[in-house]
A = this chain, B = another copy of it.
Amino acid sequence: MIIKKRYVEENESGAYFTAYLLEDSKELLPGKKRPVVVIAPGGGYLFTSDREAEPIAMKFLSLGYHAVILRYTTGNIEEGRIGVGKQALKELAQTIYYLRQKSDLWYLDKDKIAVCGFSAGAHLAANLGVHWNNKELIDSLKTKEKRAEDIKPNALILGYPLLDYEVMLHKAKLEAENEELKGNFEFIKIANKALTGTVDLTEDIIKEYSPKFWVSKHTPPTFLWHTATDNLVFAENSLNFALELAKHKVPYELHVFQNGGHGLALANEITANSKEQINEDCEVWFDLAANWLKKHIPLS
């Protein structure tokens, strides 16, 4: 394996990606351009979680895919680094562009680039999925050519994604008196500020930052999974997004497991820091996702 670390914007933002590239071998698929999965870890736009980074990369590598982990720009309330959502989105777009440029050198199939995100990282992935043909985003690219198709992901895998701020706010109102959820709602507020720059989400902001409102027939095929008892990012995010995908006839697959908290990553001991993060029922999500991904970006 060859590991390449690259700053996304020549170190301006500090964002970087690490590419894990399987080696070309004359004994095994010589000259094979492989599909690649770009991983966007979660962390409420406040950090990028290691639990959703390297272990996920290893899983895709074990399937014969290249893997790339993007450490996108995250917010820091104290340092005043807020409203990072658009910056992170540009970085993801820039990363996809960069990978396509490296197609020959890195034995990478430029028509087979998936993005796999978790939580806030899934929000980021979905945002690229719905906005890759947005003029403003394209124009912001630090690239010679400004072409939508250079930044389009070919498939999305979204784990417990935040996709719908209407749902988030609606539930926050409904459950305002729920003591158990208070901590969660506080975290969401800080995360919202990191993402949007404010805690007071106006209708315009809600619309702007909710991928749900931007689904179109141009959105790439999408795999979603969630737990019905996720008390931080509610499963309705995925249900509503799936309804939009259905409406626009975008191929999609959705799995909502009955039990499990937010942030399960692989849902087994490989990514667990506590017993609660081991969940045999949910662990199957990765095999379901891998099986689905093969339909869209097959190894061969």
Contact = CB atoms under 8 A, between A and B. Distances in A.
Given A1-B20, A27-B49, A54-B22, A243 B253 contact: no
Interface in A242-262: 242-243, 245-246, 251-259
Interface string A16-27: 000010110111
A109 interface: no
B269 A300 contact: yes
Given A54-B22, A236-B243, A258 B251 contact: yes
Copies of this subunit: 4
Q: Which bracket fits the contact residues of A?
A: 35 or more
Contacts of A251: 228-229, 258-259
A54 B242 contact: no
Interface of A: 1, 3, 20, 22-23, 25-29, 49-51, 54-55, 57-59, 61-64, 221, 223, 228-229, 234-236, 239-240, 242-243, 245-246, 251-259, 269-271, 273, 281, 284, 288, 291-292, 295, 299-300
A174 to B, nearest CB: 9
B246 A252 contact: no
Contacts of A246: 228, 234-236, 239
Contact of A1 (B54, B235, B236, B239): B54
